[in-house]
Chains A and B, each alone.
Chain A
């Protein structure tokens, strides 16, 4: 059961460009998390969004939670090679019995 869909699946851009990654669901979640995973490592949490319409900024990364709490986006401004990695969204927590559901991920490559 794939509750969360991410797009695009792959993204290759030049350093300095902007990009947006989307995470969509037909289900409502009390929170959504964004993770970044580098090759050979486990996912590392970037941010958790909790409130519908919430916007959080982490340096050049901007995260938005949809008003209906079914979707989220990640926008990166002026991408750098260090942003390269697999970006995963996940939803869940106490409202889903402490189960978390992951999207299939967006593989980002930033070319110097």
Chain B
């Protein structure tokens, strides 16, 4: 049981290049999320998918696209990278806590992206 996995762990891009960040979870969770984390800004939601086949914008969606490929996988694509997208990106999934009646999130290890 690996939980939430992300690839790659590190990436350096030049301005204008594109790339896709991959995320997979093996906990049979319905909901998946992409966040970015910047110093002093906390975690900000980019996109989320409440269930397979649906995606919705979060707080900071501009410059990103997502695909919920199946229940396990949720990818984040940067079509034309900009220096402002330099950040640490986290994928997360959520499912009910047994007996608690509340959803909580489980995070991947992150992708550290630098755009030059």
Contacts and interface: CB of A to CB of B under 8 A. Distances in A.
Interface of A: 1-2, 30-31, 33, 35, 40-45, 48, 50, 88, 90, 93-94, 97-105
B82 interface: no
Interface stretch (B14-22, B37-45, B64-72): B37-45
Nearest to B106: A45
Given A48-B100, A50-B100, A98 B50 contact: yes
A102 B43 contact: yes
A91 B56 CA distance: 18
A1 B59 contact: yes
B33 to A, nearest CB: 7
Nearest to A45: B104
Given A2-B42, A98-B50, 10 more contacts: A31-B100, A31-B102, A44-B107, A50-B100, A50-B101, A93-B104, A94-B103, A98-B31, A98-B94, A102-B42
Most-contacted residue by chain B among A1, A33, A44, A103 (CB, 10 A): A33
A42 B42 contact: no
